[in-house]
Every structure is written in structure tokens, then in C-alpha cells.
Amino acid sequence: MPKTEGTEIIELEKGVYARLHDGLTNAGIIIGDDSVMVIDSLRVPSFARDLISDIKYISDKPIKFVIDTHAHWDHSWGNEEFPEATIIGHQNCYKEMIDLEWNKQWREKVVNSGDSWSEEAKLVKITPPNQTFEKTMRLYFGGREIILRYLGKAHTSGDIFIHLPDSKILFTGDVAQNEGMPFFGDSYPDEWPSTDDKLIDFSVDKFIAGHGPIGDYDDLVNARNFLHKFIKEIKNCINENQNEYDTTIKMINLLEPEFGHWRGFDRLKTAVPDIFKKLT
Ligand SMILES: [Zn+2]
């Protein structure tokens, strides 16, 4: 099957696919009776167009639904390529995506990163969801029940989870990854641990994160355990009046034996200071 370089499309059950993109952002694809649903529209329009052309090898039905797991650029800046679709996200995802200051900061960061998509990022028409919800939304699509859930603030203020209860498949966005460090820059460290506690209540055989490989239930629990330890230990350092620098060194040494092999472990050098500042 021809497909975009670096991607892999895995059928999770009949009509439900994970499209993994090595080192970049994953998407989900669900085939309905007369249309297709996409989970995350990816980083810039050309990435969304690649996704659309890969989907054509699976189904010739039109893409009528896009779900934004959260507002981050690498998940949602392809939204403009789906002008006919209902774009669904949490109300806070909508609010973040219409926040001019938030958009300006992210655009500057992406444009100045020197990545191959930086030029294109200048021209992205940031397109927020056009249908939002607060707690839960149920979709009946292609003979299956799809439950969208909001469990509280975590990686951003508007992270949602897409659960297929019959097949125990869960799409987690960037809140929980299989052996990967999330980005903490826009996060809510006081709320994230309790959001993760609710996350592991889902009945899950497989979960697909916004980045990295597919995980199973144990991997989901590991992601939750990492997050708890990470936040708790930074709080302990703050309570002991340690400074930001010493906390960073201490945290890296503390977490390295158990989590040093996780993707993006290096990112703790900036993640610990980010969280430290948010908690002090
Ligand atoms: Zn994110």
C-alpha cells in the first residue's frame, strides 16, 4: 500500500486504524457507514493532505468528522484542510485555539524552529473546533459507540480521550504515551495526576497516543505512575526549599534508572524547570 514516508497504518479492529508517524504526530482513522472520522489533523496543511491521501487507500468515503485531542499545533494545525467536516473538540480546546496570544507564541516557536515545516507554519489558518462539549459526547458511527470524554486539565486545559468501549481502544492525545515524555510547557501539574487516575479507569486493551508506539493497559498505568512520581517529587523539592537548578539535577538522577530509556527523557532538562515555575 503506498503511503507517506515514515508512516505506518495499523488496523486495530475492522474499520479502526492508528496511523503512526515515526518521530512526529500520530492520527486515528475510523470508517463509518458513509463517512470517515479522523482523530487529529496533524501539524501543517501538507501533513493533513498526506493523511487524506493515505486514507484514500483505505476508504473512498468522505472525511466528515475530525476530532482534536487538544489544541497543540502538531495535532490541530491541519484542521483547515477539512472545510466540510465537523471538527469536534473540548470547549477549552476551542478557547485555546482562538486565544491570539497563545497562537502567536506557538507560531513564533514553530516558525523559528528551522524545521522543514517552519515556512508553511507562517501561513497556517488556525481553525478551531466548530462543535465543542464540556464533559462527554457520544457518537454512534459505523455501528460502534465512540465516547469522547473530558477528565480535567492535564497536558493542556482541553485534553479529551476517545474511547471505543466494545473494542477497548483508547486514543489519549498527549496526556499519556507509551514510554514517552509528554511536553509540560502548557500543562496543569496540580490537576494532571487526578486526570490520570480517571484515565486508568477506562477499560483498555490498546491505547494510541499522539506520539510513539501503541501501548497496552500496563503501559497506560506506567504513564500514570511516571506522572505521579514526577509531580510529587518536584513538589517535595519545592517544600524542602531547593532551587530550580538543584531540583532539575535531582529529578533527572532520580528518574533515570526507571525512565531513562523513554522517548524524550532529555526533555526533562526543560520540563522540570517548567513545572517548578508553575508550582512556585
Ligand atoms: Zn500536545
The residues that bridge with 28 in the sheet, in sequence order, are: 18, 39
| CA 73 to ligand 1 centroid distance, Å | 8
| CA 247 to ligand 1 centroid distance, Å | 24
| CA 75 to ligand 1 centroid distance, Å | 7
Host H or E run for residue 215: strand 215-216
| CA 249 to ligand 1 centroid distance, Å | 25
| CA 185 to ligand 1 centroid distance, Å | 9
User: For residue 114, what are the domain limits?
Assistant: 7-216
| CA 241 to ligand 1 centroid distance, Å | 30
| CA 243 to ligand 1 centroid distance, Å | 27
Domain presence at residue 273: no
Amino acid 12: pLDDT: 98
User: Of 180, 106, 181, 186, which Cα lies nearest the Cα of 154?
Assistant: 186
| CA 34 to ligand 1 centroid distance, Å | 30
Cell of 275: 513545572
Alpha helices in the chain (DSSP H): 45-55, 73-76, 91-97, 100-111, 118-121, 192-199, 217-239, 244-259, 268-279
Domain presence at residue 207: yes
Domain presence at residue 271: no
Domain presence at residue 20: yes
| CA 62 to ligand 1 centroid distance, Å | 27
Amino acid 43: pLDDT: 97
| CA 276 to ligand 1 centroid distance, Å | 19
Domain presence at residue 272: no
How many structural domains compose the chain? Answer: 1
Domain presence at residue 12: yes
| CA 35 to ligand 1 centroid distance, Å | 27
Amino acid 3: pLDDT: 83
Amino acid 160: pLDDT: 98
| CA 127 to ligand 1 centroid distance, Å | 16
- Describe the crossing of helices 217-239 and 268-279 by its angle, rounded to 10 degrees: 60
| CA 70 to ligand 1 centroid distance, Å | 7
| CA 240 to ligand 1 centroid distance, Å | 31
Tell me the Ramachandran region of residue 143: left when phi exceeds 0, alpha when psi lies from -120 to 50, beta otherwise: left
pLDDT (tens place) for every residue of the chain, 280 residues total: 668 999 999 999 999 999 999 999 999 999 999 999 999 999 999 999 999 999 999 999 999 999 999 999 999 999 999 999 999 999 999 999 999 999 999 999 999 999 999 999 999 999 999 999 999 999 999 999 999 999 999 999 999 999 999 999 999 999 999 999 999 999 999 999 999 999 999 999 999 999 999 999 999 999 999 999 999 999 999 999 999 999 999 999 999 999 999 999 999 999 999 999 999 9
List the CATH number of the domain containing 170. 3.60.15.10
CA angle 59, 62, 68 (to 5 degrees): 100
Domain presence at residue 222: no
| CA 68 to ligand 1 centroid distance, Å | 11
Domain presence at residue 90: yes
| CA 257 to ligand 1 centroid distance, Å | 26
